[in-house]
Amino acid sequence: MSNPTNLRYSKEHEWLSAAADGVSTVGITAYAAGQLGDVVYAQLPEVGDSVEAGETCGELESTKSVSDLYSPVNGEVTEVNADVVEDPSLVNSAPFEGGWLFKVRVSEEPGDLLSAEEYAAFSGSDD
């Protein structure tokens, strides 16, 4: 699965959609989901939480390990994906579609987010 070119990527392996009315969607990449293995639990930030770029805002637990979830931007969480909380395997089966994690009203975006091509080079994978 290729990285969608309409998204931007963090070096912590999160993706960020373009803002629609100031709100962006956040998820983890297919590469990260593959490295984690089968995700069995998702602890996501709560609606109203403030998140900061590069800071921990949740956790994903898989059959292999536990991994922190990082926010790629500063902002306020406006929605969490209840489907992922109920069925964490969506992170693996549809990381760029139904497996998104949360939506954030962006107050500040760091300048170091990567394009799809840059992320593929960074991660060493086309996934």
67-104 pLDDT per residue, tens: 999 999 999 999 999 999 999 999 999 999 999 999 99
Structure tokens at 46: 């709560």
Residues 6+ apart with CB under 8 A from 81: 44, 90, 98, 99, 100, 101, 102
Per-residue pLDDT reduced to its tens digit, 30-66: 999 999 999 999 999 999 999 999 999 999 999 989 9
Confidence of residue 123 (pLDDT cuts 50, 70, 90): very high
In this structure, are residues 39 and 60 in contact, taking their beta carbons and an 8 Å threshold?
A: yes
Number of Cβ within 10 Å of residue 17's Cβ equals 17
pLDDT of residue 2: 82
Name the pairing type of β-strands 56-62 and 66-70.
antiparallel
Within 10 angstroms of residue 111's Cβ, the number of other Cβ atoms is: 4
